[in-house]
Amino acid sequence: MAAEGRVIKYEWGDDLKEAFEQVGLAMYGYMTELHTVDAERTETIIAEGDDLLSLLFHFLDELLFLFCAEPFFIGQEIEIMEFDKDNLKIIADVHGETFDLDKHPQGTEVKAITYSNMQVYDDEEKHEVYVIIDI
């Protein structure tokens, strides 16, 4: 499901924390084949929001920033260490390495995270996120 210049991503998990981790990995999966990435070092990110949508936006934006800023870090695993839904704060460790075209196949460039039709479901029956990213 792709619109011109956009990719629609839908992920879920056993809880909302896992759904956030999975959508972050899915975004990195557009950038390269994750099986080629080794967990050589860990970067820690902090994201805060005013509601669950802005928390998701800022979480993904921090992950994208890791890739876009030197040394172009690509994550292979995302582990949310603190998921505070009351104070709307996430602290996550991202395990990966510096992106290297000699090692990692170049996938699709992710230009931006969008709020367009962003959805977060967190109830007893489902924990899902729906995000459209600009490519």
pLDDT for the residue numbered 12: 65
pLDDT of residue 5: 62
CB–CB of 117/130 below 8 Å?
A: yes
Q: Please work out, in degrees rounded to the nearest 5, the angle formed at the alpha carbon of residue 116 by the alpha carbons of 19 and 78.
A: 25
- Token pair 């936006």 is at which residue? 57
Q: Which sign does the torsion angle of CA 128, 16, 67, 94 carry?
A: negative
Per-domain residue ranges of the chain = 5-134
- Distance in angstroms (rounded) separating the CA atoms of residues 51 and 64: 20
Please give the pLDDT value at position 2: 44
**Interatomic CA distance for residues 38 and 97, integer angstroms:** 6
User: Which residues of the chain fall short of a pLDDT of 70?
Assistant: 1-12
SS (H, E, C) 20-46: HHHHHHHHHHHHCCHHHCCCCEEEEEE
pLDDT given for residue 13 in this prediction:
79
Residue with tokens 């975004």: 27
Pick the CATH number of 5-134 from 3.40.50.300, 1.10.1040.10, 3.40.50.150, 3.55.10.10: 3.55.10.10
* Both tokens assigned to 107: 């996938």
pLDDT at residue number 7: 57
